[in-house]
Structure 1
Amino acid sequence: MVRGNLRCARDVGDWGRCAKECLSTASDDTFGSGKFVSDTRYFRPIVQVDTARPSDAFSLAGGWGWFTHVELLSRSDVARIVSADHVPEAVLARLCDRRPDICGLDFAAPQMMGILNATPDSFSDGGKHAAVADACAAGLAMQAAGANILDIGGESTRPGAETIPNAEEISRVTPVIDALNAAGVSLPISIDTRKSAVAASAISAGAALVNDVSGFTHDPALMAMCAARQVPVCVTHGPQDPSVMQEDPRYDNVLLDVFDFLEKRIDELETAGIPRGRIIADPGIGFGKTIDHNLALLARLSLFHGLGVPLLLGASRKRFIGAVGGAPDPQDRAPGSIGVALAALNHGVQVFRVHDVAQTHQAIALWQAAIRGEQS
């Protein structure tokens, strides 16, 4: 295993299978405790971004972070910190290998996904971009402000939202994509939908990525359609319907439960014909989670690099930010949203789905300059 710009020194073959075997067989004996516990081990890199980087540090996902130690987690034992040298090689490959570009996005640097809701009832900006001309103008403004990709949605997934018919959702999003293309937008477009019919229409109009907040659990046909159309996807932990997702959500261990869900869904996406190199994962902040659940995930986001895919954080203006930050109006939550994004940058998260593109772009630029000690 070569450090720095780390790549696996040997061919690990079936990467997903090998990593899973390493995870399931690692035990306390591996780390010298003298006690054997057979349940799955999870390796969370303790990420550093300091310019004083040791020569033997491991790169994180080919990006700006590095690590020398990991937090060893399981469902049956207390967490502990161990040297990264103890991590199985296939797991290190998942943690360290550079993520392939998706839709032209280079994950060696932070990327911004601008939120463009063509809906009348989204929690933060419902109705603001419901007219095609308004949505097109907003998309062009996000491009000028520094967005790297636009995420267009036609169905609200706020807590309590009801599912709308396919035809209605298509009538909201496809004209917006057409208008953006006619206006000469140069950014890739993501379609935010749970439905294969909507995604197919959007792809035909020019969408390049499918972002499914249900984690491909809502519509069984969506996964196969994405594979057939050879489009990349974002898989989110949001398996409950928005209409009921905030009705007393519970987990055995929210961090590990979300990781296991995403790992299983990624395995199924690969089996369906979507390579891991065309998959982004989102832990689903705010989808079927309490404030404490959200904060537990944010504190250990770096665990999800073990999925071996780029990570997306969609926390912008969400309810927990208002609760923690004292901002009941979603329009007043930009500072809190940016604070969460900057914290996630310290975990190596690569993609940020945001409402406030210009403000977040400025904050990330200053964060990058500050940790480097120079302008880019």
Structure 2
Amino acid sequence: MAHSAMPLHQLVTASGTRVADELLDEFVSDLDDQTLRNLYEDMLIVRRIDAEATALQRQGQLALWPPLLGQEASQIGSVRALEHDDFIFPTYRENGVAYCRGASMGSVLGVWRGVSNSGWDPYELNMATPQIIIGSQTLHATGYAMGLVLDGKESLSLAYFGDGATSQGDVHEAMVFAASFQAPVVFFCQNNHWAISEPVGLQSHVPLAGRAPGYGIPSLQVDGNDVLAVLAATRWAAHRARTGGGPSFIEAVTYRMGAHTTADDPTRYRGVTELEEWGAKDPLTRMRTFLTNAGKLDDEAESAMAAKADAVAAELRAACINFPDPEPLSVFEHVYVDDHPILARQRDHYLAYLSLFEGSSPAAQGGAS
């Protein structure tokens, strides 16, 4: 299959060697040693969160979980490039982004345990709750960015989506509007190579970043397993947005090492050699090697990071296990701002259904209003 040439921007190779990039270097020139260690620590903690949540699902404590194993650099590098007043529109997989944004472990897990319809307060974190409908968050991000222009704000919006979402009409419509109105929005595509069980090459014969210029949107293809390169690329796009340059498109070329969700069996559609190839490009291993070789990471610092990761994982497990079961009638709350006759009728029917069970009564099942 022929692919049009497009440079893949990189700052740290798979072997942990720092290399130069004419475009990206200036956007990471201010990073000190502690900031570099913080990026590694973020990735270490997020991988621990992901492993713990996956284990909780396998133990029957979560209904479902979307693993992000292998995509830590794409998520950490991009979110750490943003300011707090920038608004993020995620998919269901950006749990690493949510952690960095300050989301509590309970707010991350509630929806996956089935005790919450949502998660965190979007306006507390400046991050929308997880979007399940593929690609629709790009329209939300574009509309939000258009509003920022009308309000004279200098902040931006960023929409995360996967390679599979680029085949959805919503994503293309969002780019049309973003380009037409020069909205300060960053389209951040995590190309993890698999749209559930379909390879990315099936839906695009050119790099995904190569599509954006057709809409008049500048784009970059970046090594998505290189946290420094992702940070720099997102800073590049953020700078364009803040200075009136309009939208940008970033394709972070990464790989989903685990399943699409815990309901998926990836062994049915991909081979072992592919995993071995991408395992050698692991984002944590390369950053650790880079820091160690540069004398910026020692055993003491690593032990402290591992202890912090264990503490976050323990917090996550405790939050999951200790969730109270929701009251049955709470499913009718927060559906409408005001009372609605159809919803009230459904609630009455549900009350009647609950009263059929032995030892149950409307009052015992949550009470009648």
TM-score range, shorter chain: 0.3 to 0.5
Q: Which of the pair is proportionally richer in helix?
A: 2
Q: Which has the higher contact order (CA 8 A, sep 6+)?
A: 2
Larger radius of gyration: 2
Q: Provide TM-score, normalisation by structure 1.
A: 0.34
